[in-house]
Amino acid sequence: MTSEPTGIAAPPKEAPAQLRRQVGLFDATMIVMGGIVGAGIFINPYVVARQVHTPVLILAVWGAGGMVAMMGAFTYAELAARIQDVGGQYAYLREAFHPIAGFLYGWVLLLVIQTGGMAAVTVTFARYLLELTNWPVSERVVAVVTIVLLTVVNCFGVRAGSRVQSVLMVLKIGAIAALVLAGMFLIRSPFPLLHPVLSRPPSIDLVTAIGAAMVPVLFAFGGWQTANFIATEIKAPRCNLSRALVMGVAGVIVLYIGVNFVCVRALGAEGLAASTVPASSVMRLAMGNTGARLIAMGIAISTLGFLSQSILTAPRVYFAMANDGLFFKAVARVNTKTHVPTLAIVMQSALTLVIALSGSYEKILNYVVSMDFIFFGLTGASLFVFRRREARFAPAPSPESDGYRVPAHPYTTGLFVVICWLVVINTVYKYPANTLLGMGILALGVPVYVFWARRTLGKE
């Protein structure tokens, strides 16, 4: 950042004066979990069961997805201990490679990853709410009111936003716990879980089926990285953010394995593959129509919690871009009373509503996975860059990394990076047209970056 024309030096980039540390360990952990748990876990189990056809393989795939998520959490935990800049992943890419790497991440986050996902979840929430209440209003009205209300809450301050998010996450955990307990104790004729182990002999076909099943699982486990966006607003982030990442992902693994366990126990592998609403099917078996309505309410709460978390965290990336002179200057302004980047929050919510009301979110979701995992892989690779710099200039561990070190690095970090890029390759292979659209949006960010960079240099 350059100094202002008056000659007054700008505040240090690593700790902007306007942003306050108000989020504790519990709220940070709930934010991590809230970024992962949406509606997918209530629906996606059937997608996995259609690829791998035995309870053992279904649970193994979800367990493997959890381990990949944990490797990602380990990586991001060390990055959080090293760099506490606002924007999290944006800052890691900027510092490890080049400002354009961070900018391109923020660019696709705004236009594809975050707003597209939020638009889809908003519509899902509206549908479940109307199904439960039978209110005589349209999905569009519910979508607008929902986003506006959550935006207003988060504009009141990070403490208000994080408290609402924590309450919604606790309700989510309650809904998932109710599903698991009902599936454990109220199912009268459970299916066997341990046999058969394989539905076909070991072969390349089986390996490719497992690989295909991993894609929706990894997508369902994604989102742990969003807590890093608000690093400058977390108390003692070097330790609290790292702990929140690991504890939050561990908690989600337990919840997800529990859900899939009761799904295969109650429905069997074939029944799970045949049900596009497996959570509702389990609850209907356990508690009749009352159970189905209860889980529908749980899904509505879960989607609302995801939206709340997204509105709380992602705008900090756009704030960081603007603070670096790579976006509209007004987006970097912080409300003097609430100490949040109000315009960044409103901008993301407005774009989300545009996408939701236009119905284009389904097309965007087709290439969210490839965009997300490109930058997951790059961010994992950034840790190798930081470790190499550390070894070059400080043979002993540097103070910046004292808070956390990735277990079994470089093997765990390297495996995480490889898996991320294998997901990208698989997505390109299976959905080439959709992936090319995503790559086109990514490429459009290059001239936009050049414009902002030259504009910023021209002011120096």
pLDDT 10s digits, 408-443: 999 999 999 999 988 888 888 877 887 888 889 999
Contact 344, 19 (CB under 8 A): no
Tell whether the model's pLDDT for residue 267 goes beyond 70: yes
Of 455, 445, 378, give the one whose Cα is nearest residue 107: 445
Residues near 393 by beta carbon (within 8 Å), at least 6 away in sequence? none
CB distance 113 to 398 below 8 Å: no
Q: How far apart are CA 247 and CA 404, in angstroms?
A: 14
State the pLDDT at residue 397.
Answer: 53
Full DSSP string of 81-149: HH---TTTHHHHHHHHT-HHHHHHHHHHIIIIIHHHHHHHHHHHHHHHHHHHH--SS-HHHHHHHHHHH
Angle, CA 87 vertex, CA 369 and CA 219 arms, to 5°: 20
List, in sequence order, every beta strand (DSSP E) within 176-278.
none
Quote the CA–CA distance of 298 and 171 in Å, as a whole number: 8
Q: Read off the pLDDT of each residue in 166-194 and give the average, rounded to a whole number.
A: 90
Please return the burial class of 20, using the count of CB atoms within 10 Å of its CB with bins 0-12, 13-18 and 19+.
middle
Instruction: Give the pLDDT confidence score for residue 401 in this predicted structure.
Output: 45
Residue 394's pLDDT is 62
CA 133 to centroid of chain Cα atoms: 29
- CA 43-44-48 angle, 5° bins: 140
Residues 273-317 pLDDT 10s: 998 889 999 999 999 989 989 998 999 999 999 999 999 999 999
Identify the CA nearest to 265 among candidates 61, 40, 48, 58.
58
pLDDT of residue 131: 82
Say how far apart CA 308 and CA 168 lie, in whole Å.
8
Helix axes 114-133, 342-358, angle to 10 degrees: 70
Rg of the chain taking only CA atoms, in angstroms: 22
Annotate 348-371 with three-state secondary structure: HHHHHHHHHHHCCHHHHHCCHHHH
CATH 1.10.10.10 fits 25-389+406-458, yes or no: no
Residue 15 DSSP class: S
Task: Check residue 9 and give its pLDDT.
Answer: 39
The percent of residues above 70 in pLDDT, for the chain, comes to: 93
pLDDT of 11 over the 50 cut? no
Structure tokens given for 345: 């929050």
Residue 3 in this model has a pLDDT that exceeds 50: no
For residue 234, give the DSSP letter.
B
Torsion of CA 293, 294, 299, 304, to 10 degrees: 110
Q: What is the pTM of this model?
A: 0.87
Band of the pLDDT at 402, cuts 50, 70, 90?
low
For the segment 205-245, what is each residue's pLDDT rounded down to a tens digit? Answer: 888 888 888 888 888 898 888 889 988 888 888 888 889 99
| Contact call for residues 300 and 132 (beta carbons, < 8 A) | yes
Average confidence (pLDDT) over 384-405: 72
Question: What would the two tokens of residue 399 be?
Answer: 């103070």
What does the pLDDT look like over 119-147, one tens digit per residue?
888 988 988 888 888 889 998 999 999 99
- Could you give the CA distance from residue 422 to residue 373 in angstroms, rounded to a whole number? 9
Residue 220: CA count within 13 A, CB half-sphere: 29
